[in-house]
Amino acid sequence: MKFGIRLHVIVRETEEKAWQAAEDLISHLDDETVIRAQAAFQRMDYPACEQHFKRALTLKPDHVTVMTNLGNCYSVQGRYDDALTLLNKAIARDKG
């Protein structure tokens, strides 16, 4: 059996603001697109993974988790500059 867990910690001034930030991160996102992207990543089909995560970003351009996943996809393809740019954007967005 294979499985994975991804955990994101969201820190805001109050618990209510933290939960709102979490909800904002996942709202309006096409779950099927993310599932396809994650499945492509597991198959090591990085072009398909990239395509699906980019589609997810068109639906939710500031989605930190999708940016992070796409950055990881770039990284495993050796596209370190693209990965670094996107991961830095995700970090900056998450601090907001």
| Rounded Cα–Cα distance for residues 37 and 47 (Å) | 10
Q: What is the pTM of this model?
A: 0.66
| Rounded Cα–Cα distance for residues 82 and 73 (Å) | 10
Average pLDDT over residues 49-72: 88
The answer on pLDDT for 71 being more than 90 is yes
pLDDT at 82 (0 to 100): 95
pLDDT at 32 (0 to 100): 81
Residue-wise pLDDT tens digits, 3-57: 555 556 678 889 888 888 777 766 666 678 888 888 998 999 999 999 988 988 8
Closest CA relative to residue 34, chosen from 51, 47, 21: 51
